[in-house]
Chain A
Amino acid sequence: MIALTAPDQPDRPPHETRPLVLSLSGITKRFGSLVANDAIDLDVRAGEIVALLGENGAGKTTLMSILFGHYVADEGTVHIADAAGQLAPLPGGSAEAALRAGIGMVHQHFALAENLTGFENIVLGTVPLWRLGFGKATARAKVARLMKETGLEADLGVPVGRLSVGEQQRIEILKALYRDVRVLILDEPTAVLTPQEADGLAETVKALSKKGLAVIFISHKLHEVLALCERVVVLRGGAKVADRPTAGADRATLAELMVGREIPPRERAPATLGAPVLRLAGVDVGAPGERDRLEGADLELRGGEIIGIAGVSGNGQGALAALVAGLKAPRNGSCEIVGHAATRADPSARIGAGVGRIPEDRHRDGTIGALSVAENYVLETLAASENQRHGLLRRSAIRARAAQAIRDYDIRCPGPEAPIRALSGGNMQKVVLARVLERAPRLILAHQPTRGLDIGATTDVHRRLLAARGRGAGILLISEDLDELFALSDRIAVIHAGHLSPAMDAAGLDTRTVGLMMAGHSAEEAA
């Protein structure tokens, strides 16, 4: 968690006297009939950290993409200060112009080439293409210094595609910081970072802002926003509905501004345990040299309980999830899933046995971007009789059920026929969730289920997972968000370097102990 320092730093000049570096006025962006940004004005001053809040699909990323030149605004202008401090119009639709003007962006959906290493991604485009070399030594030194200053550690020598999302996130941030920017856009940079890393990033951002960097910070984690930002701008349905100082606001006020209504609290009944749905005994997954592997894991998860798996991503969570989802076979040990011995990698058998999977990366493993919401909704049960007859899809039935899910789960989208890639992250996640829960699974694998979700959607996911637990499903919750783990789990196990600790009663644990165990200390040391 971000250290709770007072948001108003006294050693800085008062807000109004600092020069404007960025001014958006009347920005409007439409996608077909959908108004993603509605006449938005936004001024940002040097050294200021502004939070941009809003529900999933409120238009935050769209606004920032216009600023960074990915999208062209239908109306409105962007002005940015040049080196002398004079505001000048920024030509739209050119990331190159934005970069040249000193804007850096950390993308919500990482803009990384997976076949390049982290280092290569960072230096890509920073050296003119006609040059023969990079000046590798200086570049490496600079990256190393950045990593030290920010505490963002990542393996820079392997192709980015092989890294965990957490590491990819760190590289995405390093990439933006590597260019000396004057305006930094951080689009949900902390969604997959560990608490310590989020702290480190917050410190870095603060230090940079003291030097005059203007920061636009997008996050759904309101405690971070309150600790870090001086001002919040709230979007709702594409329009700006609030622009106020953080001082005097709390989580509840911000949440209400975003959602426009009060958020019901989650309720958690005591667990009623059923039969075991997952039993691991001495299970190894992945080769010994692999980073993301599991070694000698023991675990028993019963129906009606939630076991939280805490850990820094890349420590074996991927292997555990792949095992449960049937994407990888155990190398050693015995693994029993919903009463069936799982010896082979067979995802469809797992689905048949009653395993529901909420994958970590909804874009890569959860949905198929070009297919419609309805098609994605039935993707895992195409063979079921309600979806096909004589091998032909029952289109209208599928569409009707998807439309029902859209209503039940409050999925904001143009309709069941819209391609799913056009949905905002939170709404995409709701489709995945609806797909999983529709089948009333016995075992639910929830891997970072609320990554990137707004507070309303997060509460919603939590309520639905708790409801599934109430119905008797066993839930394996893999998450880096300790708040989430403690809010939902009956028991918590910590994973580090491929080793899974015994599952401990959550009531007897505190975040500090778990945090230390995530860093590799044993339960005894940490207690």
Chain B
Amino acid sequence: MWAALEILSQANFWAATIRIATPLIFGVLGALLCERAGVLNLGIEGIFVAGAMSGWLAVYLGLPLWGGVLVAALVGALFGLIHGVLTVPLGLSQHVTGIGVTLLATSIAYFGYRVAFPNVGTPPRIDAFPPLDLPLLRDVPFLGPILGQQTAFTLLAFACVIVLALVLARTPLGLALRAVGDNPEAVEAQGLSVVGLRIGAVMAGSALMALGGAFLTLSAFNAFYFGMINGRGWVCIALTVFASWRPGKALLGALLFGALDAYQLRLQTITGGAVPSQIFLMLPYLFSIAALVLLARRADYPRALMKPYFKGQR
């Protein structure tokens, strides 16, 4: 019992929490940006894969690390463009299109990997983002070791939270984005382009999702392999509801999920096989389901979410 609590005092545990949470932060931010504009983006799972693969490949082929990040973002935006064009001006079902984008992006990423590396057994590794070396913070007890295990990519995630929160709350663009997810007629009547705003939001959101994938290959595992995304995208969709579409709460949700995941890993070692490990693996997902059950009923969905808008129709 005491050992189970003691985990919470380990700097290692908190460092792992942040590491696990980082890709989710990107993912939830991306998903909430799309949904705030009124578009559900179930392409997220595939865009994670594509981001992970393309970012890693770019670095493997010689681009600097930040170049890989940029490539991943661009690839994400491209899939966002596909999803946006199909769902916004053409008004196709957002569910079906999103699943389609996930299948497409996943397949292309796997195919590209196989074409590039027809005969390798172990996935080739790259030199990933190094841990932060912060001259002053390094010596702060507890906090120092936690931050010392993170990379600059993680800082980017936190920066994105702040930037997105500010943009949504404070800028004319954020206002327009929030409005277009609530009542596109209002946006149209104020002379703004519903299609432009929505496609833009989906592209930017998808770029963020791809960064989540790229974090895994460029900062966490240093390699790309099949199945590595493992449902993280779907978790982000659930966390978006948990976050009630707010960047600050998105950060909170991602950290909570990360903490649960890090915790269950450590619990497994404590209990030493007395309890089947699958039970522990379930924990974070049970949390997601519980959060959805408790919160989704009260959730304030963007009113126009999943409702295609056609000009001149009522």
A residues apposed to B, CB below 8 Å: 65, 68, 70-72, 93, 95-96, 98-100, 105, 107, 111-116, 120-121, 123-134, 175, 369, 421-422
Contacts and interface: CB of A to CB of B under 8 A. Distances in A.
Interface in B163-186: 170-173, 175-176, 178-179, 181-183, 185-186
A493 B186 CA distance: 36
A124 B190 contact: yes
Closest 3 CB pairs of A and B: A125-B190, A113-B179, A111-B189
A113 B191 contact: no
Nearest to A159: B182
A422 B313 CA distance: 9
A48 B192 CA distance: 29
Given A133-B171, A134-B172, A114 B183 contact: yes
A114 B193 CA distance: 18
Nearest to B190: A125
Contacts of A422: 314
B101 interface: no
B272 interface: no
B205 interface: no
A215 to B, nearest CB: 18
Contact of B312 (A71, A130, A133): A71
Given A96-B193, A115-B182, A124-B186, 8 more contacts: A96-B191, A98-B191, A99-B190, A99-B191, A107-B185, A115-B179, A115-B300, A421-B314
22 contacts: A65-B312, A95-B190, A105-B189, A111-B183, A113-B182, A114-B303, A115-B179, A115-B181, A115-B303, A116-B175, A116-B178, A121-B179, A124-B175, A124-B176, A124-B179, A124-B187, A124-B192, A125-B176, A126-B190, A133-B170, A133-B171, A421-B314
Interface string B204-236: 000000000000000000000000000000000
Given A71-B312, A134-B172, A115 B178 contact: yes
How many of chain B's residues touch chain A, expressed as a range? 20 to 34
Nearest to A65: B312
Which of B170, B179, B181, B189: most chain A CB closer than 10 A? Answer: B189
Contact of A113 (B173, B183, B300, B312): B183
Contacts of A421: 314
Interface string B271-314: 00000000000000000000000000000101100000001101
B23 to A, nearest CB: 29
Contacts of A96: 191-193
Contacts of A131: 171-172
B37 to A, nearest CB: 12
B302 A115 contact: yes
B101 to A, nearest CB: 26
A369 B185 CA distance: 15
B188 interface: yes
